[in-house]
Each structure stands twice: as C-alpha cells, then as structure tokens.
Chains A and B, each alone.
Chain A
Amino acid sequence: MTKILRYSLQAFNYAIFMLVVWYFSFNLPYHQLEENEAVVTLSFTHATKLREACRKLSQKELMKLAPNMRLPTDCPRARSPMTLELYLDKKLLTKATVEPTGFHKDQGVNLFKRVKVQAGEHSLRVWMNDDVNIEGPTYSYEKNIVLKPEQQLLIDFNSGSGGFFVN
C-alpha cells in the first residue's frame, strides 16, 4: 500500500473517531424542559416540633436512675415528620412526607423537590404540618404568581420569619 493511501485511510479513521467525540460531546441535545415550561422548586430545611413534650419524672422513676443522672424531666429528642402539599390552580402538584434526619430522628427535615409546570399565571398554595400532635396545617401560604418559560421559582421556608416565602 502506498504511503499516501495509508495516511489517507488513517486520516479517515481519525475523522470518524473525532466525529463521534464531537457529536456526543456537544451536539446531542437534551430537553430538560418542554416548550413553555418552568420549574417550581421547594427547598428548605426546618426543625419540626418535638414529638412529645417534656415529662416530669416521678420519685419512683428518679430513684431507678443513677444519682448523677437524676434530671427531674424526661425530654424525648425525636421530632415530628413533616407533611407538605403544594397546589397550583387548586390542583395538587406534589405532596411529600419527610422524616427528620439523624439516628434519633432529632435533626431537621430537608426538602428539595423540583416540579415542572406550564409557564403563565397561576394561583399557588402550599401548606405544611410539622407537628404530629396537631391535625391539619401548621403553616400555609397562598400567592398569585406569573411564571416565564425557563424560570425557576423557589419556595423557601423560615419559621422565624413567618413560614413560606417565594424567591
């Protein structure tokens, strides 16, 4: 085989190889959202209420404990799970029940959830229950929103400043 033919064949093979590299590296689109879609993201951490209130120990119970462990009250560390529902135009968009983290379920709950929605004007409602001892919402929030295509609306939560807010 002549050198020219051999090098031409090599060039052809390199070109095929680089075409594969180029195509899968840069030119195969992935559609994250459909046309006219936006994203609503729920993202927050929250320390839910304790499952049980502190209880005063009886004298009998105290006497069963070692002398240096005799605290007058027993305060279980476990926190309540959190239940949340998100409605858009009065339709349930997503719901979540999240257990507190930690071996003893005594840490906060973390929620991170993304939902694709149609862009446009919507009425948004979200409620949360963070206390197993109360039935129904402990926090709720309503707002009319306008979403542009490809917009990400963040629903955040801070119990110190009144609960839910959008960002």
Chain B
Amino acid sequence: MKTAVIVFPGSNCDRDIAVALERVTGAKPDMVWHGDSALPDGVGLVAVPGGFSYGDYLRSGAIAARSPIMRAVVEAADNGLPVLGICNGFQVLTEAGLLPGALMRNEGLNFVCRPASLTVENAQSAFTSRYTAGETITIPVAHHDGNYFADADTLDRLEGEGRVAFRYAGAVNGSARGIAGVLNAGGNVLGMMPHPERRIEAAHGGDDGRRLFEGLLETVGA
C-alpha cells in the first residue's frame, strides 16, 4: 500500500509515523510538504502526524488546517480515502472540518506524556479491525491540548453511530466522555490523540499500536 505523510512546519512525529508505515507496509511513505496542492497518485492512506504545526499559533492545528495541501486531503477524504490524524493531526482534522468537535487545553493544564490505557470501542472500522471491541490496549499520549469537546447532541450522535473508536480507560485530560479517538460518518477518517506509531515493537514497551497499521493494510490495500 502506498502511503503519504503530510509535513507541516513544526511537525515532529512525521518520522515516527513514516517508520511505522514502512515497517508495516514494507514501503517508505511519500512525505508531502504542506505547501503542495496535490497528493501523490495512487495513495491508499494519508497520515497527518503529531507535533506542533506552526507552533500551535492561534489554536492547535488551526493554521495547518488552512494550508494548501489540506484542501486536497479534505477532497480525498470526502471521496473515501482513509485519513489518519494523530495528536496534532487530530487537531488539524477537527480544524479542517473533517471531524466534529475541538481539542482544548487539558483539564489539569499539564502536558501529559505517558502510556495510557485505552478501551477499543469500535473494532469494525478500517483502522481498528485487528482489535476486539471492549479490549484494553496501551498507547502513549503526549499532548497539551487533548481535551475533546463537542456539544451534547454531537457526542450522543457520535456514540449512537459507533464513531467513538477509542476511549481513555482512566482520567487523562478531561475529554468529554473520555473520548480518545473519533471516526467521521464514512468511517474513513480517524483522529486520535494517542500515538500508535510509538508502540509498534517490543523495544517501545509493546506493540498495541502496530495492529492499527496492520488492520489498515489488510482492509484498505495490499
């Protein structure tokens, strides 16, 4: 499967996700600069990485979401292309309107950087097919603005439609209903604050994140 990683000024997990994608798919992803206006041909997955795009100026992800490449990413996502946003990438996808809600400053104001226990809520999506619903997995978090917010109607709709992919098993950042990752209505866009790319082999302390990429490879392309 051919993959692409979007690189913004201030991205810092772009190389981590590139390594994870290469380990699982066997091919190096195309690194796509934010100023480009088109995605490479034949891409089966776009990853929007973690980091501090544009220094988190204005709001986390706000400036990156309005960059030229994001117009192409939004159009491709609307046409069903799988898009994975991790951490700052999740913030970018909400700011770009691909996912509902917003990510606010952590409730405790602290930058939270540690392994987090997550409950897999939806194991049917292209991203989560290698997990079991209700399973507890461990994936690291590292963020300051991970406190998911959406109004009660939106949260009810997300839960009713099975669009909460992951939930924190314990208190992490004050997220509404403990939400750690959400899917779009089409199920082809996932945003999550935890970093699966930092948990793909034993040397990382575990490989619970690897199954997300393996599942993607299996469901969206060989």
Q: Do A and B bind each other?
A: no
Residues of A in contact with B (beta carbons under 8 Å apart): none
Residues of B in contact with A (beta carbons under 8 Å apart): none
